[in-house]
Chain A
Amino acid sequence: MRDLFAFLRHLGNLCHKEFLAVIKDPATRVVLIVPPILQALLFGYGATYDLTNVPYAVLDQSRSGYSTQLLARLDGTGVFHRVATLDSPRDIAPAVDSGSALLVIHIASDFERTLQGGLPTEVQVILDGRNSTTASSAAGQIRTVVAAFNASIGQAAPLPVSVVTRAWYNPNLETRWNILPGLIASLSMMQTMMLAALAVAREREQGTFDQLLVTPYTPLMIMIGKALPAIAIGLIQSGMILLVALFWFAVPMAGSVFLLFAGLTLFTIAIVGMGLSVSAVSANMQQAMLYTFVLLMPLVLLSGLATPVQNMPEGFQIATFLNPLRFAIDLVRRVYLEGAGLALVWKDFIPFICIAAVSLPLAAWLFRNRLA
């Protein structure tokens, strides 16, 4: 009992020292608070696949009532904005090449005649494929507008089967609702892992590691002392981003905050374990940071943050099972947006526990080995 008390007291002292080491520098304090919030804001606004502004040019050789009607419908969407009216097919290439128009709509001179005559009538759309994702969704919108136009002029019989679509958990299909929960896990991960990786490397570089060794603390205690502040900072950052998502962007939260943070805590422990392992193999701070970065890049890219995991080829999908961030993002999205309970997301906890169970002892072992 006495031993346990002494252990906790020692641990408390160690954590106190590590906390001070991290936050005593005012510039570091700023770097731990401002960037996550700033990034959450910037990416919340900037990371979007939603089509809100499509600049287009028109080559209307028909200049008929019908073509005007069709174009008016397009302008009425609020998404398409006409930036140029072209006079000849020669103008199409410059308009697209310069990037001033994402697409050009070409209506041939016989448009109204063929349409009234019941002949096949075409509208040609030339798209700038330099960003093929935006171009494809713009094309999809044009098809919808044209279908509505056809129905309005009574040319096309309504199709006998229609599809009524509802999107669960995100009725307007806003990218923001998908990105922000993902940021709760990924933004805090970047700094947490870096902090953990620097924890030992900094002492080694400054020569204070040897001083720690002559204290009565065991390597395990030293490691826990280094892990706890990093975990706490990671969770605080996640909390800040959660607040930005909830109150600034007003993305409604459906699930339990408790479950969310239970998962995030395990995730952060796994991340800190990975960071400490990196720290133990690095000779100095520079190496620790470079190795961490080399590790972070694939973790973020293959996490499903910006591109869905299900779109990846199978080999990559299997590789993502080693990526704790993939499961953290899945967990946060499902708890936050879908209100999923433990019964639905417990599987996401397994990778965190496995990675923590491997990386923390590994870090402790590496410390001891480097000490010998």
Chain B
Amino acid sequence: MMGTHGFWRRLISLTRKEFRQLLRDRSNLMIGIGLPIVLILIFGFGLSLDVKQASIAVTMQDRSPQAREVVNAISQSTYMTVVPAESLAEATLKLDRHEVDALLLVQNDFSRNLSAGHAQVQLITQGGDPSRALVIQGYIEGAIGTWSQKAADRAGNVRVRGTSTGVMVTERMWFNAANDSTWYLVPGLIVLIMTLVGTFLTALVMAREWERGTLEALFVTPVRPVEILVAKIIPYFCVGMLGLFLCLVAARLLFNVPLHGSLLVLIVASMIYMFVSLGIGLLISAGTKSQFLASQLAILASFLPAMMLSGFVFDLRNVPTAVQIVGQMLPATYFMQLAKSLFLAGNQWPLIVKNCTILLAYAIVVLGAARIVTRKKLD
């Protein structure tokens, strides 16, 4: 009875100390609260894979009415602006200077070929930015395809009314009907922020204590290692939860990303992931005992992979197997999958159970390891 009483008393006073230490330094709050807000704004408003404005340099060697119609069809697209260029050399220069995103050439035999039924236009895109180049190519093909369909209809000589144009594809985008990349970036942001607070901030703060020997000073007091760890974890856990709260508010109020799944499940899963993330941070700090090394390792082992290899921006399905395996070893990947699914697809129970179990296993392993490493140093 005395023992548990002492445990709680020591834990509470230690936790209070840790909270004070956390709040005393403004740079901690900047990472804990300032950076999440900045990230939310950047991811919500700044980053986009959706090409909304592309400028196309157009050189018309053929100025026939048909050629003008084709160019008109392009300039009518809300996504594209046509920049006229007198000569091919001028257009090429614009492309080299990156003043335009692509170059469209209507050659002087265009209308002659068109009456023969096989006209071509040439499009040159900036391969330096492949994703953008592909989207722009799609826009141009779409605009010209629509125009030539209309032209063919008007001519009436290609298809007879009532006959089909073959198979048409109707697409339905589930979970993200508006095809808006914000919808999958914002749920992913929760993962990123929790990794940041859990691993990076915790590793840094703990490594500082190791480096300066203040942790050893704690060891000579009657507190037990597990109490030191728990007292360290609690404040950062709270900061991580604050980050989650900020993301949820932003998702709902700022970006109108729907949460189809259960909020409770999301919170519970986030808590589990927060433990994993904290455990990794504690392990890194105990392993390096140096602030510089701990920070580099924390970025390298948790933050960068969480951003690049967890399926946050880049789809894991498209990467080579070896990288896929690395991705599949990351706890962030499982939380990322779960967060996206909960937000956009709703409660997929098999997925929830599977990923939560994996995360829970990770949490037990890393926290247990952190506990062992910290105890060993006492001897």
Asked if A pairs with B, the answer is yes
Q: Which bucket holds chain B's interface residue count?
A: 35 or more
User: CA A48 – CA B319 in complex, angstroms?
Assistant: 7
A65 to chain B, nearest CB (A): 14
User: CA A244 – CA B43 in complex, angstroms?
Assistant: 30
User: CA A120 – CA B177 in complex, angstroms?
Assistant: 24
Complex interface: chain A residues within 8 A of B123 (CB): 163-166
Given A31-B296, A285-B291, A287-B25 in contact, is the A131-B315 Cβ separation under 8 Å? yes
Our pick among B45, B50, B315 for the contact of A316 (Cβ within 8 Å) is: B45
B196 to chain A, nearest CB (A): 8
Inter-chain contact A301/B166, CB cutoff 8 Å: no
A19 at interface by CB-CB < 8 Å:
no
Inter-chain contact A150/B315, CB cutoff 8 Å: no
B379 at interface by CB-CB < 8 Å:
no
Our pick among A118, A133, A291 for the contact of B181 (Cβ within 8 Å) is: A133
Complex interface: chain A residues within 8 A of B322 (CB): 45
Inter-chain contact A31/B297, CB cutoff 8 Å: yes
Inter-chain contact B175/A129, CB cutoff 8 Å: yes
Given A146-B167, A155-B166 in contact, is the A178-B172 Cβ separation under 8 Å? no
Inter-chain contact B121/A128, CB cutoff 8 Å: no
Complex interface: chain B residues within 8 A of A142 (CB): 169
A85 at interface by CB-CB < 8 Å:
no
Complex interface: chain B residues within 8 A of A54 (CB): 317
Mark B333-356 against chain A: 1 for CB-CB distance below 8 A, else 0.
000010011001100101100000
User: CA A97 – CA B96 in complex, angstroms?
Assistant: 45
Given A125-B170, A135-B173, A167-B126 in contact, is the A130-B326 Cβ separation under 8 Å? no
**A173 (CB) vs chain B CBs: closest residue:** B130
B165 at interface by CB-CB < 8 Å:
yes
**A289 (CB) vs chain B CBs: closest residue:** B295
Inter-chain contact B296/A166, CB cutoff 8 Å: no
Inter-chain contact B42/A160, CB cutoff 8 Å: no
**B192 (CB) vs chain A CBs: closest residue:** A297
Given A31-B297, A130-B176 in contact, is the A167-B315 Cβ separation under 8 Å? no
Complex interface: chain B residues within 8 A of A163 (CB): 120-123, 137, 140-141, 144
Our pick among A128, A177, A282 for the contact of B130 (Cβ within 8 Å) is: A177
Complex interface: chain B residues within 8 A of A194 (CB): 292, 295-296
User: CA A11 – CA B171 in complex, angstroms?
Assistant: 67
A211 at interface by CB-CB < 8 Å:
no
A238 to chain B, nearest CB (A): 17
Inter-chain contact B300/A39, CB cutoff 8 Å: yes
Mark A275-308 against chain B: 1 for CB-CB distance below 8 A, else 0.
0000000101111011101100110011000111
A217 to chain B, nearest CB (A): 24
Mark A123-138 against chain B: 1 for CB-CB distance below 8 A, else 0.
1111111111111110
Complex interface: chain A residues within 8 A of B52 (CB): 311
Our pick among B132, B158, B165, B313 for the contact of A308 (Cβ within 8 Å) is: B132
Inter-chain contact B45/A167, CB cutoff 8 Å: no
B190 at interface by CB-CB < 8 Å:
no
Considering only residues 149-199 of chain A, those with a C-beta below 8 Å from chain B are: 149-151, 153, 155-171, 173-175, 177-178, 190-191, 194, 198
Inter-chain contact A312/B46, CB cutoff 8 Å: yes
Inter-chain contact A164/B122, CB cutoff 8 Å: yes
Inter-chain contact B296/A291, CB cutoff 8 Å: no
User: CA A163 – CA B326 in complex, angstroms?
Assistant: 40
Mark B281-313 against chain A: 1 for CB-CB distance below 8 A, else 0.
000000010111101110110001100110101
Given A142-B169, A155-B167 in contact, is the A301-B47 Cβ separation under 8 Å? yes
User: CA A28 – CA B296 in complex, angstroms?
Assistant: 9
Considering only residues 40-61 of chain A, those with a C-beta below 8 Å from chain B are: 42-43, 45-55
B145 at interface by CB-CB < 8 Å:
yes
User: CA A83 – CA B130 in complex, angstroms?
Assistant: 28
User: CA A35 – CA B295 in complex, angstroms?
Assistant: 13
A280 to chain B, nearest CB (A): 14
Inter-chain contact A119/B164, CB cutoff 8 Å: yes
Complex interface: chain B residues within 8 A of A49 (CB): 49, 130-131, 314-315, 318
The stretch of A222-230, A264-272, A330-338, A360-368 that contacts the partner chain: A330-338
Inter-chain contact A136/B179, CB cutoff 8 Å: yes
B206 to chain A, nearest CB (A): 11
B204 at interface by CB-CB < 8 Å:
yes
**B67 (CB) vs chain A CBs: closest residue:** A161
Inter-chain contact A306/B313, CB cutoff 8 Å: yes
Inter-chain contact B290/A35, CB cutoff 8 Å: no
**B115 (CB) vs chain A CBs: closest residue:** A160
Complex interface: chain B residues within 8 A of A175 (CB): 130-131
B368 to chain A, nearest CB (A): 25
User: CA A156 – CA B159 in complex, angstroms?
Assistant: 9
Our pick among B296, B317, B350 for the contact of A98 (Cβ within 8 Å) is: B350
Hey, which bits of chain B sit against chain A, CB under 8 A? Answer: 25, 27-28, 30-31, 34-35, 38-39, 42-43, 45-54, 70, 95-98, 101, 114, 117-134, 137-138, 140-141, 144-145, 147-149, 151-152, 158-159, 162-177, 179-181, 183-184, 200-201, 204-205, 208, 288, 290-293, 295-297, 299-300, 304-305, 308-309, 311, 313-315, 317-320, 322-323, 326-327, 337, 340-341, 344-345, 348, 350-351
* Contacts A/B (CB < 8 Å), 19 sampled: A28-B292, A35-B296, A42-B323, A45-B323, A49-B131, A52-B317, A53-B318, A121-B167, A130-B176, A130-B344, A156-B166, A159-B148, A161-B114, A190-B299, A191-B296, A286-B27, A301-B47, A310-B132, A340-B96
**Sample of 17 more A-B contacts, CB < 8 Å, known A31-B297, A120-B168, A161-B119:** A42-B309, A42-B323, A47-B308, A49-B131, A52-B317, A98-B351, A129-B173, A151-B166, A155-B167, A161-B114, A162-B119, A165-B122, A198-B292, A290-B31, A294-B35, A310-B51, A310-B53
